[in-house]
Structure 1
Amino acid sequence: MRRWLVCFLIALPSIGLGSTCYGTVADGRLEQGVQLSKDGPNFAAYSTLGVQLGRTYVHDAVRDVVVATYRTLEQAAPGKTFVYGETGLAQGGPIRPHKTHQAGLSVDFMVPVLNAAAASVPLPGNVTNKFGYGIEFDKAGRFEDLRIDYEAMAEHLYQLSRTADLHKIGITRVIFDPVLTPPLFATRRGAYLRQHLHFMKERPWIRHDEHYHVDFAVACR
């Protein structure tokens, strides 16, 4: 009995502990990070290899918001396909080539797209196009026979914001190519996005045309 109790007490610190972030998204680290699910009914990771290499870890509060939002979108945006990109490492810290993504609070979401038949399809990702990050959309939001599905993107951001608020963590920043932002604000959810989300107005160091970067608001130590 005594031996069992000692073993239980030793194991107790690792039971039910949530994630803890330290520092900032640009200079931070993460403890007890969790990995996002590789896929679901209406979403998938940008790369199986990226998942295997451990590049899709987040703070557990962020995981809960991302997954709950995808569940909501099954009803709010039926038939739409969503893809998430890189997030961070299990322990946080630098993750090349990103300048942030260090505290488990940053998530890249690949833009939802429509094909020539106006069907929602995942953004194609492979080694030759840097798993989607190498795709370049033109000023009209087009790439080959694909075009950005701004309505689906706006609905995703709207539901992500509402879900984050419900989980009491919020969203601090969204980064998306300023040239492509006006069509996003012209959608059904555009007025809400403009009023409730902070879109970085400065031109990012890379275009952020094939993905939109979201930083979540979690108190870090």
Structure 2
Amino acid sequence: MQWIDRLEQNGYIQIDNFLLHEHAEQLRKKIISVGHFKKWSLLTSPYRPLMNIKDKISTKVIDKRRHIQATQALRRHQFSFSFYRSSNKHAKRHGQTLLHKALGEQVVNLLSDHSLIKGELRDSFFAAYKKGQFISYHTDGSAGKYAFIYQLSSGWQQRFGGQLELYPKKIKFFKHVLTPRFNSLTLLKLSHPMPHSVRLLNNPAHKHRITISGWVE
């Protein structure tokens, strides 16, 4: 198939309309509507928690400081990131795990059907980005054979940021920029390799940049 050839040759592919539109809409609404205080965990790097606060639970004070530290590292051109990931804590209560694993298994089936992988979902999770969050230039190493990013960002505009930036030649000034498109699936061949980043977000609060990401083997 043509998309397989492009994936193997270029190291990445973006597939539009991965799910039926109504199924994608239902999935997005479920993610946004499910309410639980431990549904999301802030991930940042570098991570230097406040020394005088026990860092056992996420607080607004700690999260704000961690985000500032990550942003400062970005300005120094160090590897850094700041975004929210679906939490594994209280997974049975907030019910997100089944949602992102189901999508991950569909990716596994897609690639297994074409003999590209042996058929293992290494990891899957939701990622949500608020204004000012980002992921700087990096590779996923040996996390799996392919990485996947499924977009659930509806009505996205270029000025909101959050574009996925790919560097197929490992040169920072040579890149492909993929704007978040609702119901699109991006696959990255990690042996290519495929360094990538997520551009700094400038989205209004009501615009959710939500993805399902993970790795398959």
TM-score range, shorter chain: under 0.3
Bigger share in strand: 2
- TM-score, length-normalised on structure 1? 0.27
Q: Which has the higher contact order (CA 8 A, sep 6+)?
A: 2
Bigger share in helix: 1
- TM-score, length-normalised on structure 2? 0.27
